[in-house]
Amino acid sequence: MLADFLTCDYIRLNVVCDNWKDAVKAGAELLLEKECIEPSYVEAIIHHHENFGPYMVVAPGIVLAHARPEDGAKEVSISLVTLKKPVVFGNITNDPVKLVFTFATTDNKVHLSLLSSLMELFSNQKDMQAIMSASQVSSVINIIKQYSN
């Protein structure tokens, strides 16, 4: 299922960002381009980070940027951006961030299934390192396919 959502149109590699806000916007831009989310969704992600801290940094080097469905999610979607240079989100344990996954959902069942696949991926250090250092989207897609049930 993960590979059905995380296709080449939703992946960008080695994006240059100066700070965490730029990184959030870079990940969300792919979902905005495909009209999966509204601009208010991006604003909500930034607002949540500013008000609740870097809880979205879910593992070393990985942020799972998201907001609530009512904040502007139009359909279930996910994007992945690798950063050329990691940026600090303010999470003492898991900074700096190299991978930005942006996640939007309108369906709880699909949402839980995708999160389960992502958590399985996040727990495999070898695959995560391969994604972080990938220079071709096809390499990332091949890894993602392994986590699609």
For the annotated catalytic residues, the residue numbers are 66
Which 3-state string (H, E, C) describes the chain? CHHHHCCHHHEEEEECCCCHHHHHHHHHHHHHHCCCECHHHHHHHHHHHHHHCCCCEEECCEEEEECCHHHCECCCEEEEEEEEEEECCCCCCCCCEEEEEEEECCCHHHHHHHHHHHHHHHCCHHHHHHHHCCCCHHHHHHHHHCCCC
d(CA 16, CA 14): 6
